[in-house]
Amino acid sequence: MINIDFLKNYPEVTPALAHIWRDVLGKIWMPEMGIEDIEFLYDQELQGDMPLTLIALYNDIPVGSCTVQLKDEIRPDLSPWIGDLVVDARYQRQGIGRKLMDAAVLKAKDLGFEKLYLFAFDSRIASYYEHLGWMKIGDDQFKSHPVTVMELVL
């Protein structure tokens, strides 16, 4: 059974989340980041109200995370952002990413936000988000790679 909760309620899972993040996203987009660097970022998210990280637990084992953050370096004029939606490769295609995304959207609504933004690394991922109701609003670059900037009206 999948449980979605806040990272603040499970700070001990940051090492496992750091490994998932590195294996799924980091090796491709930020290979220079070590596990300690990624753990530090997750630990920083425990220090304040934002960014706010949601985690997916399968029988109390962390299998994914998603963050609602106020800023993103790609488009600092837009806020807030969904960042770092990541699911362990062994648990993908089971609806966990969708559950994390739905929980993040609900939390953003609860916080009074009217829109959310994200960027997708490739057209396949952008199509997935379009299926969830997101709209493409532009193209940009992240670390010299093209990305699609998307918006969701809440």
Nearest to 86 by CA among 12, 18, 154: 18
Q: Which domain holds residue 80?
A: 2-153
Give the E-state strand segments of 70-112 in sequence order: 81-87
pTM: 0.88
Q: What is the pLDDT of residues 12-41, one digit of tens each?
A: 999 999 999 899 877 777 778 788 888 878
CATH number at residue 32: 3.40.630.30
What does the alpha-carbon distance between residue 34 and residue 147 come to, in Å, rounded to a whole number? 23
Which pLDDT belongs to residue 62?
97
Q: What is the pLDDT of residues 104-121, one digit of tens each?
A: 999 999 999 999 999 888
Count: domains in the chain: 1
What are the CA-CA distances from residue 89 to residues 86, 97, 109 (Å)?
A: 9, 11, 29
By percentage, how much of the chain surpasses pLDDT 70? 99
What does the alpha-carbon distance between residue 95 and residue 8 come to, in Å, rounded to a whole number? 23
